[in-house]
Structure 1
């Protein structure tokens, strides 16, 4: 069997550009994985994905025309069911063999093998390898069914009767094994070797693909199409950089991976052009202009060396005329009204102060169970005042920032571009004559908006951001609106991580338990107490975040098992656990700690804690008591000073007396007084060992 490269292309109407990258990757991966599973392609076969606005395609190297035959062993039934007392086949066994294409002659060759508590009969046979035409049809059907299509559309086929469903109407199908067409049918199409190139600039139409290896080259030369999504994206980046360099002055195209992917999904052969707009529009906040150019026109704004927006922008065109002036003028004509709208919104919004707008929040529904945005704003104010008082931050300024933080939701600019909430609040606060500190706090109270985002720049911003996120978390948990699976409509996971980051990175002296309790107070009877579930949720998010930072599961489990309330301590506790785990005494002490914990759990009633020295009958228990008494002051001092590493390392001296205690002392002595005294000794030991972390979690 001669292996050849395989090409499959599905030619369709324009695909959704934001989904194209994912669709292309899924199409190639799913198809290749199915062929590999069927034995038609090697597990390490080279897979090359192609995706343009009008096609999904894949090339798979060294695909066999037929999979190799393989030996299979099939379990039939228990021996007691398949054979009678004389060892003859039962009707049930003969029926099962017939279903497999065998008869009574196969009974003698059946194998007996253990299967649980009984023996079962197994039938060995050789399974003929699947042919490429059958296997590829199966693979293509499965791939189309599993594609991550954002929205399926139904459409009629050419016969006028049949209806099929796909992301967009499909018009052509290519399936080439080398130069040979593999006959397939899907979505009402029959496979061939024809496709179409660029809608306007193809040199030949249709493009007839000679073989699987010439696909990309023929589409480029005859069809004016760069078939590879990755190559097309790289070409756009190259042209953007070249255009910016040609303009000079240190300008650069704005860095936006999502926009780059979307534009790559819009063009088949990119051509970057330079446009410009009137400098008067630069009086509008650049975030507004950038957003309208990106979101509405898919342009790449240009920033100068200082990060300020210039009045030039880059257009990624899908055509390459000799004279591009008409294309440039057309795009400039289209963007001008968009920028004018932004300027109009900005000018109109500044006619009313944020303070005047606050009353309007009472008319905006936040949640049917939690009231209006105005009511929510009052809750955030109350939470912010409490946090500010505990941190020694200006309570009045925190209250004012919290009061004004949501007012920009009622502006025309945020109504048009919701992504600008907070940002516009900062601009309008400055226009209203508020301090830079206040404007920053209003702008920053949504931060961090995403993983890796900066934290609020000043203490007022941190207070309001904490209050805002805590209000959301407590409120939603209090009415049972918890995230499920991948659904998190209120972004509670993001809010929890924001709270965690601020508490840790700013090392705030605030306990999580008190924060949640204080945040629940302004809700009164609106919610039920969900602090326990919310605390678990926050610690789960913290554990995930720490895993991403490289801490081991055991280290994280040991620290978070104690539910440390000052999250700023977590990193120091983890460092201490890591250092302790490296000590030669660590494994033995962790195992002993686990043993102590198990003993204490079995004690009925209150666990005694006071040790009576006169009842320390054995030398080993006296030695342990003395060792604990000697090192406790040093361990206590280190713990109180926050030097958790030193506090834990002091415990290393306990290994020998702890080992000796368990070797020579019977904890559960018959004498009740001795037993209680030894339990008290272990209870003190357990408390001493587990202040920084639950060391038993380090035991394998």
Structure 2
């Protein structure tokens, strides 16, 4: 079957847009082909800096003929309906229709419509210009005199030529005849801009790819990448070095060249005094070059690898010299920034944060740092960290944001904090926390293990979550502008991967109270209670913390019940003062319902935990079953319960006990709804009539005690093993016992016994939440 070759030749396409543009071209063309009934065998798209190309092979030469039966009006129906039917079907008279007989609904006219398929060449000529004109570039432009005309083409860069051929491999292909903005489709393309700029006539893809290669254009981006990596590694190895690989940079560089030529340059070893990450960022960001490592020292070597787009007559000496000049200047700047930064201690930079707003409703960066410092000190003993070191690390962790190097290269924030902390003699754990407190930033990012870093990282993320929860800036749908889902997953991974036993609700409460009390302390410092008599000022000093969550900035009154009731009267006498205070710190002293928001935030953590466990193969309903018990906010224990529960439910005992428990729950739900009461009292042993009742009651008592003891020891596997002993008694009960006995007392007693099953299994999980 015939193949399609399409190329859109233009000025240089930004590297960041090429991969998506190639995929968009493949998708748009193939989707339209399928919509037209032209099912193809395969398609592949390519991109270079100056072209998008697509080959689609195995396309039918023409569309299949279409036969369709269209049902019309009843025989003898209104003339208007018949005329509409004739117009819609293209029949010249009703005699051309057939009659379909239906003894129940009556006879109907039916038209048999035969629509011959079109030649694929004609379909392509119609669809391709539409695809070109509607191509979804992130940014596009118009150019030249044609841009002034209505309907002028918008394209990412000026479009110069279109190649479009269609035909069998064994025959001369046809040119798909169409034009876009006066650019006629043809068989002509162009090679490398400098080394082979002459026009090239092509026929089909194999011919096209081969001729481009002869014209110094490597069409396939993956082939260009392989060439760059292979040549760079060989060049580095030849001089005793190792290439520092960088996939993101490789993708970008491959989009900047059509004919990759790898060269090596050098810089003054004096610049190696600058941290390697800064050197790499400088060379990478400014010149799109790779750095190399000295395997003997593990540090960077004073060399770099660049990728040219031309085979220079001088072997690349001029290209290398030009890059060396630029890199020398850039490294000189980086060295100056680094040495300048070292002259100022991290803590001396902190006052500047007073002038930087973190969020208009959450105060300044200075206020946030103070909160994180206090929160980290509270968390430290919970994760086994030194409190003093943790507080110090939290205080300094954000300071490198104000350094020259981080201002120039934001990607090294945190890392530079570590270097500056070590340079000024800080403890190694403090320095590590400066770097690692941002981690983990994604599922592939590593989790800090240093206890000080763990405490600061938890504090940083918790303060963010609590703050944005308080101002109702929670994630909605796919929108999460403050990356709160990532922060919650970070907290979860920090706790689980460090095997930390922490109550999440306690952490949330501590974070909220620290944030609120800190803001009120700032209020006291800023306002200084000026204009108040000494007696009232002293009273306010003693009562400002208790009222922190009940004050309304709009009315100037306290709606909470915290502290001395007489304080509410005090607020009435000085409403303007409190309104002014509230306007400066609107979040922590506005009306706020902490228990409700805290529970909501805990639920958010539970949802994130489900996502993480589901990605690891666990069932989300098991997480629901554990959280439904209430008070389950120790994430490490939740995970261990879920793991034990999952293994238990894979056994026959687990499956059958689940079925029996759900049956008991369903019966109870029906009868409780019918009687409008709960059967939650203890059953009366004197009313047991059958041995199966007695056996179940005995088993429940033994299992509840054994499972409870195992849970108390946090041995969830043993608790599940104990639960398994219920299975025979439950099975026998449902097999032999009629729950809804005619005797009302017996019925009630048996329903209470079913409730005992439900209560006993809740020692490990709420089985009603488990699916299946």
TM-score by length of 1: 0.90
Q: Which residue of 1 aligns with 2:117?
A: 129
Q: CA RMSD in A?
A: 2.9
CA contact (8 A) 1:447 1:454 kept: yes
**Of 648-657 and 504-513, the range deviating more from structure 2:** 648-657
Structure 1 gap segments, 5+ residues each = none
Partner in structure 2 of residue 619 of structure 1: 691
SS of the residue 2:153 aligns to: strand
Post-superposition shift, 1:686?
Answer: 1.5
Please name the residue that 2:165 is paired with: 176
State the match for 2:552 in structure 1. none
Shift of the 51–601 alpha-carbon distance from structure 1 to 2, 3 Å rule, reads same
Please say if 1:431 is aligned against 2:423: yes
> Does structure 2 retain, via aligned residues, the 8 Å contact 1:269–1:318?
yes
Structure 2: any 5+ residue segments left out of the alignment?
168-172, 517-548, 550-586
1:51 and 2:47 matched: yes
Q: Higher relative contact order by CA 8 Å / sep ≥ 6: 1 or 2?
A: 1
Partner of 2:204: 211
SS of equivalent to 2:177: coil
What residue in structure 2 maps to residue 576 of structure 1?
Answer: 644
1:233 to 215, 218, 225: 225
> Does the aligned pair in 1 maintain the 2:279–2:331 contact within 8 Å?
yes
Alpha-carbon separation, structure 1, partners of 2:474 and 2:313: 58
CA drift at 1:631: 2.7
Partner of 1:276: 266
Matched with 1:641 is 713
> Which residue of 2 is the match for residue 64 of structure 1?
60
Q: Which residue of 1 aligns with 2:449?
A: 457
Could you say which residue in structure 1 is the equivalent of 2:487?
495
Q: Do the aligned residues in 2 keep the contact of 1:441 with 1:457 (CA within 8 Å)?
A: no
Equivalent positions of 1:296-695 (< 5 A) are: 296-305=286-295, 307-323=298-314, 324-524=316-516, 526=587, 528=592, 529=594, 530-552=597-619, 555=622, 558-559=625-626, 564-601=632-669, 603=672, 604=676, 608-668=680-740, 673-695=745-767
**Change over 3 Å in CA distance of 1:70–1:389 after alignment to 2:** same
Q: Which sits farther off after the overlay, 273-282 or 210-219?
A: 210-219
- Alpha-carbon spacing, 1:538–1:37, altered in 2? closer, same or farther (3 Å): farther
Q: Distance in 1 between matches of 2:410 and 2:182?
A: 43
Contact 1:448 1:498 in 2 (8 A): yes
Conserved 8 A contact 1:73-1:124:
yes
Moved more, 626-635 or 170-179: 626-635
Correspondences of 1:58-207 after superposition (within 5 Å): 58-72=54-68, 82-83=73-74, 88=77, 91-92=80-81, 94-102=83-91, 103-105=93-95, 107-109=97-99, 125-137=113-125, 139-140=127-128, 143-144=131-132, 149-156=137-144, 158=146, 160-162=148-150, 163-178=152-167, 179-186=173-180, 188-202=182-196, 205-207=198-200
Q: Distance in 2 between matches of 1:216 and 1:263?
A: 21
Q: Is the 8 A contact 2:272 2:300 kept in 1?
A: yes
Structure showing greater radius of gyration is 2
- Deviation of 1:148 after TM superposition, in Å, equals 5.1
Q: Secondary structure at the match of 1:92?
A: helix
Relative to structure 1, the CA distance from residue 503 to residue 677 in structure 2 (aligned partners, 3 Å threshold; closer, same or farther) is farther
SS in 1 for 2:407: helix
Change (3 A) 1:633 1:118: farther
CA distance in structure 2 between the aligned counterparts of 1:93 and 1:616, rounded to whole angstroms: 79
Q: Aligned partners of 1:154 and 1:699: how far apart in 2?
A: 58
Q: 1:541 to 1:301 in 2, by over 3 A?
A: same
Q: Which residue of 2 aligns with 1:18?
A: 16
Give 3-state SS (helix, strand or coil) of 2:264's partner: strand
- Could you tell me how far apart the structure 1 residues matched to 2:158 and 2:508 are? 53
Any conservation in 2 of the 1:157–1:188 contact (CA below 8 Å)?
no
Compute the displacement of 1:245 (Å).
1.8
State the Cα distance separating 1:486 from its structure 2 match: 4.0
Residue 587 of structure 1 contacts residue 699 of structure 1 at CA under 8 Å; is this kept in 2?
no
Distance 2:433 2:499 in 1: 19
Look up the SS of the partner of 1:227 in the other structure: coil
CA drift of 1:392 comes to 4.5
Query: Tell me, what secondary structure is at the counterpart of 1:377?
Result: helix
Determine helix, strand or coil for the equivalent of 2:725.
Answer: helix
Change (3 A) 1:106 1:283: farther
- TM-score, normalisation: structure 2: 0.82
**Structure-2 residue corresponding to 1:31:** 29
State the SS of the aligned residue for 2:452: helix
Counterpart of 1:546 in 2: which secondary structure?
A: helix
- Tell me the distance in 2 between the aligned counterparts of 1:373 and 1:93: 77
Distance change (3 Å), C-alpha of 1:537 and 1:164: farther
Encode CA deviations 1:180-222: one digit per residue, 9 max, x unaligned: 10112335532111122211111x511221333311111111x
Cα deviation 1:595-626 (Å, max 9, x = unaligned)? 33334445345551433322333433222111
Change (3 A) 1:454 1:169: same
Cα pair distance change 1:662/1:72, threshold 3 Å: farther
Residue-by-residue CA offset, 1:637-667 (whole Å, 9 max, x unaligned): 3323333233223323322321232344444
1:150-175 Cα shifts (integer Å, max 9, x gaps): 32334456374243322222221111
Matches of 1:37 and 1:157 in 2, distance apart?
36
CA gap 1:71/1:197 in 2 versus in 1, 3 angstroms: same
CA distance in 1, matches of 2:480, 2:467: 14
